[in-house]
Structure 1
């Protein structure tokens, strides 16, 4: 009798595990005991699998990777709704990152210290505009000098001069240190800092690479940015207060963030308790994965998303705006705290380069805009030519 009861319970548990719809979970592929959907996931490019599952199961679906329960969301409205919930604020536990950050980093900690750190960084960026502006201007000018020194041809895959630019500014935010040649700053460029990690440097550097590539490929866009800079600045030095006047330049940066979403799977969240969402039951300790690539490349939301169209970020009056479905920095309390700083850095960099150089591809003026996925959307190694104006 006991054996029969145990057998029946085991069958029920396995049945629920394999067919999660019976306990009102979001739809999804068949989950095998212990393995879940691991056998169906592309181990090298999981993003590709998640996109295919979106096409089959819709904007919210459930998968299991081993014993880890995952809900993937690829609709902007749904994603905002769930990221704004307090029972979905934590990050998934990650022993590697917790060891590096001592469970104190903004991006990865699951506990309360991130709140104070988030406020500190946000307040620093707001109150230290002059300090940041001076460093950004200095670093951008040094980039121009470095390109000129190297004979106007910079290998994009080494990006040493771009990394210097980003690290100098990150050093200003983190430690108030300005010299890349300082041993501590060099160390920070290759490892994580507790407040702003090396990931921030890599993400911003990659964003700048994509911005250079798209300007090299679309000369008409590059020319229009250059004309806007001329009309707004009249040959003067760019200041942070000028950014609001550079609507088209801002639009080109936002379009790059969309067509080549840097974090295709975003930064995941973690449910702190059982929750009901859209009449689905999502258990505690479920990983919430924002499929940002699926949101930004949805033809039902963005007209011709594969085409480079900065105009989609300009309203009828020609002013820069961000559509509701633009989620490059996610949403909610834990949205990217460095979004304003990153945007300022990229726009300053692009503006400075376009003011001083014509950017071209090395081979017959064309560039390779194909990409590779790791945790980032990375450009292929190639060279660009910077022609002095």
Structure 2
């Protein structure tokens, strides 16, 4: 009976198998047609995705890259795959644009398409994505316009801010003079001088160089710029499950909390500003703008936003400029012949008169040295990360909206097509045959386009005045019996020099 039953059902079982097999074949055909369509669209009018090395499952190219020397690694890959290529960091596809022409095209000619910020877990998980530096969308443009306008109203680009920097440089000279030619680490002095300029604009206040709480706060800011860009951070940002594991990202959380606490204390002292007629600093201006829009439920000008904007402006306004100045003094120690030429030019042109921005044309060599310090120091070699704000066809490749972009500034400031000795410290990069200052197109330490550094103008004034004033008054040397300091940078978001001691000898 059972045999008879099996025989009776056999045609139906065969039919079921045929149907199942047919369904699988149909699904496979549909998949292949769909895949072919996607490939055709991707490689058709819109172009292919940028090429790059084959990665590991889940980890992508992370195991194949030296994350401690990522800028150099990406330059190596660009020689193989071209000026536009891709890497996979974890499960995230990243497009790298390398070399002056390519970066210029991306950030300027296609500036609107390359102006967004990607989701950056270390920033997002610390609540810092709603300031002005890391914010995405229209909110960034609104806050950027407000910030630039407010800083101009507070003296940026005017003689008043220059006079303030000149005054602060006199305090810096006194602080360095206290060492009486004995070895010291210039880190704290330079940090405090630069910080006092931005503090006066943001908080309406300056601090003494021996204020321990303030000095400690500046250490936290500098440490954060290392933590945001070291090898551990690079892995964390593309493998965010590490959030629950111990590591340097936990230290960043603690640092940010302490800095925010300081900023909130400054902000709370200004709450009366809503009734002022004229703002005296950035906090005043922001609170007054918020008071005007208090009935707007969607206003950006909340006190929570102000805290994060202040964090962005305070951190970026201090660390990048002070780091560049630390490189400047280090390079004068290791290149005494350059230091002597700067001092001879200042002595001949200015004598004992204090340097000003008007003197730049009369001090072409000094101006060239300041710019070469920025180029050589290369403190933001990966730039700040970008993302595409829309689908874009770029140099024959199709890059979809939201793609993570690395504008490789390291490859711009080391581009052999524009710098005769890209890996050497050479002020002649900024001098023409007549010995006058000449600015090459490939000088992009501040980035370019809609995300150009907000503090570019302020940094230019600070760097020239602080540097020329210091060399007018001191000669900087390695401590007697000590080898010359190491020029290997520290890995981080802002790549500063390793700690070093020097002697400042009065001239």
Task: Specify which structure has the higher proportion of strand.
Answer: 1
Same fold (TM over 0.5): yes
The CA deviation at 1:203 is 1.4
Check conservation: 1:262, 1:376, Cα contact below 8 A: yes
Q: For the residues of structure 1 that align with 2:215 and 2:26, how far apart are their CA atoms?
A: 63
Residue 348 (1) aligns with residue 465 (2): yes
Q: CA RMSD in A?
A: 3.0
Q: TM-score, normalised by structure 2?
A: 0.69
Structure 2 residue corresponding to 1:366, chosen from 476, 480, 484 = 484
Map 1:156-235; keep pairs closer than 5 Å: 156=185, 159-180=187-208, 189=218, 190=221, 191=259, 193-235=310-352
Q: Which residue of the partner structure matches residue 54 of structure 2? A: 30
Q: For the residues of structure 2 that align with 1:183 and 1:12, how far apart are their CA atoms?
A: 65
Task: Specify which structure has the higher proportion of helix.
Answer: 2
Question: Secondary structure at the residue paired with 2:171?
Answer: helix
Question: Secondary structure at the residue paired with 2:322?
Answer: helix
Question: Secondary structure at the residue paired with 1:153?
Answer: coil
Cα deviation digits, residues 309-342 of structure 1 (max 9, x gap): 1111123443323211111111112111211211
Residue 89 (1) aligns with residue 207 (2): no
The CA deviation at 1:29 is 0.5
Q: Which residue of the partner structure matches residue 357 of structure 1? A: 474
Q: For the residues of structure 2 that align with 1:360 and 1:110, how far apart are their CA atoms?
A: 45
- State the structure with more CA Rg: 2
Q: For the residues of structure 1 that align with 2:201 and 2:213, how far apart are their CA atoms?
A: 14
Question: Secondary structure at the residue paired with 1:213?
Answer: helix
Check conservation: 1:266, 1:291, Cα contact below 8 A: yes
Structure 1 residue corresponding to 2:144, chosen from 118, 123, 126 = 118
Structure 2 residue corresponding to 1:329, chosen from 426, 446, 459 = 446
Q: Which runs of 5+ in 2 are unaligned?
A: 1-21, 222-258, 261-309
Structure 2 residue corresponding to 1:286, chosen from 392, 403, 416 = 403
Q: For the residues of structure 1 that align with 2:213 and 2:141, how far apart are their CA atoms?
A: 26
Given the superposition, is the C-alpha separation of residues 195 and 33 from structure 1 closer, same or farther in structure 2, using an over 3 Å criterion? closer
Given the superposition, is the C-alpha separation of residues 2 and 264 from structure 1 closer, same or farther in structure 2, using an over 3 Å criterion? farther
Residue 135 (1) aligns with residue 138 (2): no
Q: Identify which range, 166-175 or 147-156, moves more after superposition.
A: 147-156
Question: Secondary structure at the residue paired with 1:72?
Answer: strand
Check conservation: 2:374, 2:445, Cα contact below 8 A: yes
Check conservation: 1:135, 1:178, Cα contact below 8 A: no
Given the superposition, is the C-alpha separation of residues 365 and 67 from structure 1 closer, same or farther in structure 2, using an over 3 Å criterion? closer
The CA deviation at 1:146 is 1.1
Given the superposition, is the C-alpha separation of residues 125 and 246 from structure 1 closer, same or farther in structure 2, using an over 3 Å criterion? farther
